[in-house]
Amino acid sequence: MRIAIGSDHGGFGLKQVLAGLLRDGGHEVVDLGTDSTASVDYPLFAERVAREVAEKRCPRGVLVCGTGIGVSIAANKVPGIRAALVHDETTARLAAQHNDANVLCLGGRLLAPEMAWELLRIWMSTPFEVRHQRRLDLITGLEERGS
């Protein structure tokens, strides 16, 4: 799969680990930065990944900041994005099963790399349950009506 990935400085280390593991697993990784631990603004990187997914250049994206909160808030401003902040196996599974999340958000300062990789694997391998489609359509309607 072609996967967009991005982070701020707080998520840089975990992003590097996850990008490497994804590549080792045969995925095509589109790394949209950041490229170091120098302080940057997470909305910029969240937007890059979100647009890559919303404009269908990548079916899925992964975002990492210190907590995962900032990138999830920012990514969800882009129409078509369902970004889910997950922190355990259950939320990773349900983000796919119930929400068909197309962007996974992780806390680089909160999760051990092994745990983050496990959550990423669960999210990528769990199918969406179509009985939840009506709720996703309601979210799309909300986007279309705007504010």
Structure-token pair, residue 126: 């769990």
Residue nearest to ligand RB5 (CB): 70
Binding mask 33-62 for ligand RB5 (x = CB under 6 A): ---------x--------------------
**Considering the rule CB under 6 A, would residue 12 count as an interface residue with ligand RB5?**
no
Handedness of CA 34, 55, 111, 14 (dihedral sign): negative
**Considering the rule CB under 6 A, would residue 8 count as an interface residue with ligand RB5?**
yes
H/E/C letters for each residue in 2-39? EEEEEECHHHHHHHHHHHHHHHHCCCEEEECCCCCCCC
- Decide if 65 is catalytic: yes
Non-local (6+) Cβ contacts of 83 within 8 A are 46, 50, 63, 71, 72, 75, 76, 101, 102, 103, 104, 105
Give least dist CB 96 to ligand RB5, A: 23
62/6 Cα distance (integer angstroms): 6
- Decide if 98 is catalytic: yes
User: Which one of residues 4, 58, 65, 104 is an interface residue with ligand RB5 (CB under 6 A)?
Assistant: 65
Per the DSSP assignment, residues forming a β-bridge with 31 are: 5
**Considering the rule CB under 6 A, would residue 95 count as an interface residue with ligand RB5?**
no
**Per annotation, catalytic residue among 65, 87, 105, 132:** 65
**Considering the rule CB under 6 A, would residue 6 count as an interface residue with ligand RB5?**
no
Q: Catalytic residues, which ones?
A: 65, 98
Which residues lie near ligand RB5 (CB under 6 A)?
Answer: 8, 10, 42, 65-67, 69-70
